[in-house]
Amino acid sequence: MKRTEPPQFATRMLEHCTPADRHEVLSGDLLEEFRSGRSEAWYWRQVFAACAVSWTESLRARIPLFVFALIWSMLAPAWKVFIDGIESAPIIDRILDPLGILGAPPLLAGWLLLNGSFLWAGMLVYILTLSACGKVFRRNEVRRPFLLVPFVYAWVFGAWTFLCMLDWTTPFENGTFPATPLGQITGLGALEDAMRIPYIIALLAVFWNVIPRSKHAALSEAEMEQADSAAQSDPVALIANFDPFAVKRFFALMVGAGVINAMIAGFLLCGLPESHSPTLTSLLIRAVIYVAVGALAGVGGAWIYWKNPASPFRENPPIPFPHFALVCATAWVWVPCMIIFSEQVSPAAALVAMTGALILANGLRSVTASVFVPAQHDTSYLAPEEAEIFAESLYRAPHEVHGYLIAICVYAAGCALATRSNLTAAALLALGAFLFAWKRTFVQDKVLESSKVYKRGALRLALIAIPAVLVTIWALLDGVAHRNHLAEVNMALADNGTSANDGAQQKATDQASTNGVGGYESVILWPLPEKKQIIPPLTAQESLLAPGTTRPLIIPFDGPYWYIQPPNENPGPKAHQARGTPLGADIESSNSVPLTMEAHQTLGTAIHIARCREIQVGIENRDNKAGVIAIAVLLTDTASPEKPALYLGQQPIVSTEPEHFSFKTMPASETLYFAVPESTKIRKFNEINVMLLSDVEHALIAPKIAIRQFKLFPR
Amino acid sequence: MLLLAVIHLGDEAYGVPISRQLEASRGRDVSVGSVYAALERLEAKGLVTSSLGDPTPERGGKAKRYFRITKEGLRQVHETRRVLTKLWQVLPELRLGSR
């Protein structure tokens, strides 16, 4: 007897593995055929074939998404390096450290925002690229992924990090990115790929259900929707009536997007030449490229927002985008030189930003005159004699809030310049200059033909690009000179003070030590009590030597702490010296070179290695940043000409490790144990050197860890 | 082939008869799922349109999806026929078994 119902499992499989709009008619067709005499095997074959076809179609529809996610994620390592630079900036720690545990939410929000920005930019590029290829997205479908993507990324990143940590050969450990942005983008190492994968997964996850359709399909859908909801009004059409406030808001958004994009491009791509003495021709070529990069990146950033599906200017702009781009590019060409100046902590960055803002405001005010010029009073409906009366308006006292704002910007910029916050000063001065130029620009009533407008815009851009190139060359020259000067200083310091009497190097060292680049080249921190020549009691040391001694020798630490930067191995003769304890001193790197912290204890008299079994190092830890810090101990015999040393290895500080970390209001005491080998190359030592080996978190800020004492146990 | 089957079936062009027509023409089984996939691609190109019919008991209460050819689809069919005829006309006479 033949069954009248097909296999239930196959029907369920069909329902779950085929698209919702297809499985109903498909299962109806298969049921009809089955009841008309087809076999169960035929039914199963049809179900498997339908599932395979659906999966293939589903994957094929997402091929552009796969390709785009792969391409966009190639940029991820460069973006990651950029984010790391922001996260490790000393100002972030200065802001977040006092907040303690309360600093976690803003830190997380900042992290989400930074990673979300990268993904949002990618999603916009994807949508606009496919839109340019004739594909159409539903606005409602796109909005949801935009909102979700930072959170999806956070979840994926967490899961991916956990998976990587399961494997002991995790790519996050001991890996470094290539030095240049191009190397980071093209690098295919394990670390780069590990950074890319969460971005790929996040992009695929949020866009999985957003399938672009052809314009024909979208048109027919739109017609159907129009028939369903003819009474509904189009919000975009409503906004596109050029409400001046909305227009100002969107212009501000697009100019801001362009500036941010140009700044990102500037930070990533506009570096100093590698040569120590570049030729003027190479500098000119480099400057032209940088100016073009600034302009193109700015135009690209504004274009993304201009063509955004939510933008009211997309269909019916108040001015054509090319015209807007020509005007704004005159400001964006100044961004690369501003970045180069700001990297040298030069106040010229603020002046350049102000110049760009003046030019931008002047250009924008002129081209948007038709949108923002106030409408004239219409008195035509009045009688002639009344019209004359009402045509004249009463005098009103000027109410210029912008004047106060400009003054505040100028004063605040002055304060920022005094504290060397040049980027803040640049932003404030640029805002003040923009407001001033916006209010003071004379608007012409004459309307030019579009061809003349473009010609005039292009000519203006060309004329402004020339000084921008010259200023960029100046910035590059200044940057190279600055770098060469730093190299000279490092060489002088690395010379261990032996060449301190040399004229030029001495001069350079003097300048660096007194002025430096926003700080000191190195620091020596002495303990708070007056420095005393500590010579451990001879009897105690002799007791170590004496056979049968069992009591340990305790040496309280009273030596100096060194804060130096590689490649220097010692502070040099002109180091800044101060008294204090690391538990209370805030010492941080004033540039991007990590700090090295060392503590040196001189014993005065040598101790025989053979008589010492173990050294215990007592420390006090008041560092409130979780991370991995290890202490390494080196025993040195400075009395011998070769200064031989014995490395005792390194031990982690447990109270700082993330799993044992707690916020400390009082210093936490901890003891680290170092075994001394019986047979070594050196026979005695008279100095104990302790090195604090920090992780990335503590690379730029010295840990607040002090050495309390050493306890030497006899063998 | 699909477009010809849809034209041939007229108002009765839905999954089952289209598949049977194709099976009869090709002489082997046809996957109904792939027929729908191909018809949906043609619909996206604007060559056919579809509409849902009423649910019927012999189909377990499931509706039929009827397909109709559009003007553009008809034009494409004629164009394809014209091109194929032209190509066949310029071919030399083929003999079975000859090299």
Over residues A630-669, the pLDDT tens digits come to 899 988 888 888 888 888 888 888 888 877 777 777 888 8
Buried b (16+ CB within 10 A) or exposed e, A459-473: ebbeebbeebbebbb
- Opening angle at CA A109, ends A100 and A141, nearest 5: 165
Q: How many CA atoms lie within 13 A of A205 on its CB side?
A: 18
The total of other beta-carbon atoms located within 10 Å of residue A201's CB is 19
Q: Is the pLDDT of residue A485 over 50?
A: yes
- Residues A209, A121 within the same domain: yes
Distance from CA of B19 to the nearest CA of A (A): 10
Query: Average pLDDT of A211-221?
Result: 62
Q: Which of B16, B37, B52 sits opposite A32 (nearest CB)?
A: B16
- Residues A307, A291 within the same domain: yes
Q: Which of A28, A42, A220 sits opposite B59 (nearest CB)?
A: A28
**CATH number for A670:** 2.60.120
Using CA atoms, how far apart are residues A570 and A573, in angstroms rounded to an integer?
9
Cβ distance A28 to B44 less than 8 Å, yes or no, reads no
- Residues A645, A617 within the same domain: yes
Q: Tell me what the pLDDT averaged over chain A comes to.
A: 77
Q: Give me the DSSP letters along A71-126.
A: HHHTTHHHHHHHHHHHHT-HHHHHHHGGGGGGGHHHHHHHHHHHHHHHHHHHHHHH
Q: Is the pLDDT of residue A18 over 60?
A: yes
pLDDT at A223: 58
- Residues A127, A179 within the same domain: yes
List of E strands, A293-430 = none
- Residues A426, A562 within the same domain: no
Query: Is the CB of residue B1 less than 8 Å away from at least one CB of chain A?
Result: no
Residue A133 lies inside a defined structural domain of this protein: yes
Query: Of chain A residues 31-50, which have a CB less than 8 A from chain B?
Result: 31-33, 35, 42, 45-46, 49-50
Between chain A and chain B, the number of residue pairs with CB atoms below 8 A apart is 78
Q: Which of B29, B32, B44 sits opposite A29 (nearest CB)?
A: B32
Instruction: With 0.80 as the threshold, say if the pTM is over it.
Output: no
- Residues A274, A200 within the same domain: no
pLDDT at B7: 87
pLDDT digits (tens, 9 = 90+) for A73-122: 888 888 888 888 777 777 777 777 776 666 777 778 888 888 888 888 88
Residue B99 lies inside a defined structural domain of this protein: no
Q: How many CA atoms lie within 13 A of A374 on its CB side?
A: 3
Q: Which chain B residues are closer than 8 Å to A42 by Cβ?
A: 29
pLDDT at A315: 67
B86 is in which domain, residue-wise? 2-90
- Residues A525, A636 within the same domain: yes
Closest CA to A627 of A567, A701, A562: A701
Domain end: A61, A83, A104, which one? A61
pLDDT at A565: 82
pLDDT at A627: 82
In terms of CA atoms, which chain A residue is nearest residue B39?
Answer: A22
Residue A499 lies inside a defined structural domain of this protein: no
> Could you tell me the two tokens for A355?
């110049």
State percent of chain A over pLDDT 70. 77
A159 is in which domain, residue-wise? 62-216
DSSP letter, residue A611:
G
**Side chain identity at residue A68, one-letter code:** F
Query: Average pLDDT of A520-546?
Result: 61
DSSP letter, residue A654:
G
Cβ distance B33 to A51 less than 8 Å, yes or no, reads yes
Using CA atoms, how far apart are residues A526 and A557, in angstroms rounded to an integer?
11
Query: Average pLDDT of A379-400?
Result: 55
- Residues A178, A285 within the same domain: no
Q: Is the pLDDT of residue A382 over 70?
A: no
Site of tokens 């074939």: A49
Residue B97 lies inside a defined structural domain of this protein: no
Q: Is the pLDDT of residue A518 over 50?
A: no
Residue B31 lies inside a defined structural domain of this protein: yes
In terms of CA atoms, which chain A residue is nearest residue B65?
Answer: A25
Q: Rounded to 5 degrees, what are φ and ψ at B52?
A: -85, 135
Distance from CA of B83 to the nearest CA of A (A): 25
| Residue A496 CA from chain centroid, whole number | 36
Q: Is the pLDDT of residue A531 over 70?
A: no
**CATH number for B10:** 1.10.10.10
State percent of chain A over pLDDT 90. 3
Residue B49 lies inside a defined structural domain of this protein: yes
> Could you tell me the two tokens for A399?
């109410």
- Residues A209, A333 within the same domain: no
- Residues A138, A185 within the same domain: yes
Cβ distance A26 to B60 less than 8 Å, yes or no, reads no
pLDDT at A618: 92
| Residue A274 CA from chain centroid, whole number | 23
| Residue A7 CA from chain centroid, whole number | 57
Cβ distance A216 to B46 less than 8 Å, yes or no, reads yes
Least confident residue range of A28-32, A209-213, A384-388, B42-46: A384-388
Closest CA to A589 of A563, A567, A568, A570: A563
Query: Are β-strands A213-214 and A135-136 bridged in parallel, bridged antiparallel, or unpaired?
Result: antiparallel
Q: Which chain B residues are closer than 8 Å to A54 by Cβ?
A: 33, 37
Least confident residue range of A47-61, A219-233, A563-577, A685-699: A219-233
The total of other beta-carbon atoms located within 10 Å of residue A415's CB is 12
Classify residue A252 as exposed, middle or buried by CB count within 10 Å of its CB (0-12, 13-18, 19+): exposed
Site of tokens 């080249």: A521
Q: Which chain B residues are closer than 8 Å to A24 by Cβ?
A: 62-63
DSSP letter, residue A28:
H
Residue A389 lies inside a defined structural domain of this protein: no
Residue A508 lies inside a defined structural domain of this protein: no
Using CA atoms, how far apart are residues B3 and B9, in angstroms rounded to an integer?
10
Q: Which of A27, A42, A213 sits opposite B62 (nearest CB)?
A: A27
Classify residue A1 as exposed, middle or buried by CB count within 10 Å of its CB (0-12, 13-18, 19+): exposed
Cβ distance B32 to A51 less than 8 Å, yes or no, reads no
The total of other beta-carbon atoms located within 10 Å of residue A373's CB is 11
- Residues A623, A525 within the same domain: yes
Are the beta carbons of A76 and A199 closer than 8 angstroms? yes
In terms of CA atoms, which chain A residue is nearest residue B14?
Answer: A29
Q: Which chain B residues are closer than 8 Å to A51 by Cβ?
A: 33
Total number of domains in chain B: 1
Q: How far is CA A637 from CA A537, A553, A607, A686, in A?
A: 19, 18, 9, 5
Alpha helices in A495-623 (DSSP H): 503-514, 538-545
Query: Is the CB of residue B63 less than 8 Å away from at least one CB of chain A?
Result: yes
Residue B95 lies inside a defined structural domain of this protein: no
Cβ distance A214 to B45 less than 8 Å, yes or no, reads yes
Q: Is the pLDDT of residue B14 over 50?
A: yes
Beta carbons within 8 Å of A98's beta carbon, 6+ residues apart: none
Cβ distance B44 to A53 less than 8 Å, yes or no, reads no
Query: Is the CB of residue B34 less than 8 Å away from at least one CB of chain A?
Result: yes
Cβ distance B31 to A27 less than 8 Å, yes or no, reads no
Sign of CA dihedral A380, A382, A384, A389: negative
Query: Of chain A residues 490-519, which have a CB less than 8 A from chain B?
Result: none
DSSP letter, residue A588:
B
Q: Is the pLDDT of residue A312 over 70?
A: no
Cβ distance B16 to A35 less than 8 Å, yes or no, reads no
A606's enclosing H/E stretch is strand A596-608
Q: Which of B31, B37, B58 sits opposite A35 (nearest CB)?
A: B58
Residue A390 lies inside a defined structural domain of this protein: no
A14's enclosing H/E stretch is helix A8-17
Cβ distance A53 to B37 less than 8 Å, yes or no, reads yes
The total of other beta-carbon atoms located within 10 Å of residue A410's CB is 16
In terms of CA atoms, which chain B residue is nearest residue A213?
Answer: B44
In terms of CA atoms, which chain B residue is nearest residue A217?
Answer: B44
Q: How far is CA A143 from CA A69, A127, A223, A309, in A?
A: 18, 12, 22, 10
A455's enclosing H/E stretch is helix A450-494
Least confident residue range of A154-158, A224-228, A544-548, A711-715: A224-228
Total number of domains in chain A: 4
Q: Pick from A25, A57, A60, A219 the residue to mutate for testing the B interface (most B CBs within 10 Å).
A: A25
The total of other beta-carbon atoms located within 10 Å of residue A401's CB is 8
- Residues A255, A111 within the same domain: no
pLDDT at A498: 43
Using CA atoms, how far apart are residues A605 and A542, in angstroms rounded to an integer?
10
Are the beta carbons of A139 and A236 closer than 8 angstroms? no
A228's enclosing H/E stretch is helix A215-228
Query: Is the CB of residue B68 less than 8 Å away from at least one CB of chain A?
Result: no
A645's enclosing H/E stretch is strand A645-652
Query: Is the CB of residue A54 less than 8 Å away from at least one CB of chain B?
Result: yes
In terms of CA atoms, which chain B residue is nearest residue A29?
Answer: B16
Residue A365 lies inside a defined structural domain of this protein: yes
Which ipTM value was assigned to this complex?
A: 0.84
* Higher pLDDT among residues A421 and A536, named by residue: A421
Cβ distance B34 to A49 less than 8 Å, yes or no, reads yes
**Would you place residue A494 in the very low, low, confident or very high pLDDT band (cuts 50, 70, 90)?**
low
Distance from CA of B29 to the nearest CA of A (A): 9
Residue B59 lies inside a defined structural domain of this protein: yes
* Higher pLDDT among residues A655 and A401, named by residue: A655
